[in-house]
Amino acid sequence: MMKKAWLLSIPLMLVLSGGGVSAKSFEQIALEQRPGIVAVISLGHQGVSLGTGFLIEARGYVLTNFHVIQQGTLIGVKFYNGDIYDAEMLTYDEDKDIAILKINGADFPTVPLGNSSQLKIGEQVIAIGNPLGQEGVVTPGRIKRVCYVRSSTVLCGRKPKKYDYQLIETSTPLLPGNSGGPLINTRGEVIGVNTLRSNYPSINFAVPINYAKNLLSQLQNGANRQEKLVAKLHRRNNAFPTKEVGNALIQSLWLEPNILLEGEMGLQFHINFLIEGYARQNCSAKIFFYYSDGHKVLNRTKDYTTADGQAFVQRSFVPEYSRSSFQDFTLFIPYYALPPDLPLFAEVVIFDPFGKRLVSQSSNPFYLSTPYLQGWLPQR
């Protein structure tokens, strides 16, 4: 169990709100599924995020929305009976806004999953969640229609020829704190993950549960997708091929220009990565800069320079757990440390405590234009 000092105090209650449906049947469903539904609390630099999750596997897999835990450096789950556990993220799909967390333990109560491809328009459903910090609130509604997301736009109506994924539109009222909670049919099966509310109480959206079942299947069929990718990266890089030595995976890398930091304008690199095997040990992330032809960029200043003169930037970090996830980890380099008017690229490398490479990834090429940088380059 985790320390409770950082958790919010959440009242425990079961509320059945709304009308027009069989309260008895829904109340029975809520009582049966309540043990497997949890509050998800995420604490990060931007404050506390509170949502809902539910157990989808007895070994401690918790399904929730990705946006609930996206900024979290500490993640916890709280059961209805008051039990509190540390959680870590195993895998996620940012586009569909779903994530699977892991808590330590076994034989947890689970919530049965249905088949979202068999839902019927007009069928009755309930949402169970923690709106505005009230735990276990049950709100009934109906399935209104299936909508389609294309290029981040929700299209409700005729099915388009091409779309990225589907959403379930429901009349079930959702409030902040419902995010990540189950949308349950009258058979007591989860058919969606509540994720999005509109300005109108009767227009709300859930992610079809079949997308989450695909993520769960990947976990069950080989630990998880990310560990498989780690193994492939290590084979390709011929570095630390055995899991016992330690693993890392760079999930995403992007560059943000024109960041002003301590009076200097420059580039900020954002990295999402996983590391395994180095709990409470000092590791590091470094970025090395190259010309487009592969030659090293030699720094023109004493700062941001390796022993052999290559332009680089580094930042240390200490994983808290044996498997830790770092989201939006940033490294900054000022414009004056890089040459203008030449195409460059960056190589991001994660190092273990002994200075050996675990994994690396190169950025897309970028170009610093002299007129654009005028005023931010040092005067010669």
Cα distance between the two ends of the chain: 59
Exposure of 92 by Cβ count < 10 A (0-12 exposed, 13-18 middle, 19+ buried)? buried
| Phi, then psi, of 69 in degrees rounded to 5 | -115, 5
SS (H, E, C) 202-245: CCEEEEEHHHHHHHHHHHHCCCCHHHHHHHHHHHHHCCCCCCCC
Given a cut of 50, the residues of the chain with pLDDT beneath it are 1-24, 222-245, 370-380
Q: Clarify whether residues 241 and 178 are in a common domain.
A: no
Residue 18 forms part of a structural domain: yes
Q: Clarify whether residues 155 and 17 are in a common domain.
A: yes
Residue 379 forms part of a structural domain: no
Query: Among 215, 250, 272, which residue terminates a domain?
Result: 215
Q: Which residues contact 274 (CB under 8 A, 6 or more apart)?
A: 226, 230, 247, 248, 249, 251, 323, 324, 325, 326
Pairing of strands 135-150, 12-16: parallel
21-56 pLDDT, tens per residue?
A: 444 478 888 899 999 999 998 876 666 788 999 999
What confidence score (pLDDT) does residue 92 get? 86
Q: Which residues contact 265 (CB under 8 A, 6 or more apart)?
A: 258, 259, 334, 335, 373, 376
Residue 20 DSSP symbol: S
pTM of the full predicted structure?
Answer: 0.55
What confidence score (pLDDT) does residue 232 get? 39
Q: Are 267 and 333 in contact (CB under 8 A)?
A: yes
Q: Quickly tell me which residue has 């829904």 as its tokens.
A: 26
Q: How many domains does the chain have?
A: 2
Query: What is the domain range of residue 79?
Result: 12-215
The CATH number given to whatever domain includes residue 257 is: 2.60.40.10
Active-site amino acid positions: 67, 97, 179
The CATH number given to whatever domain includes residue 87 is: 2.40.10.120
Length, in residues, of the chain: 380
Q: Clarify whether residues 169 and 242 are in a common domain.
A: no
Distance CA 142, CA 121 (A): 8
What confidence score (pLDDT) does residue 380 get? 31
Which residue blocks in the chain are alpha helix, DSSP H?
Answer: 23-33, 66-69, 209-220, 225-237, 370-373
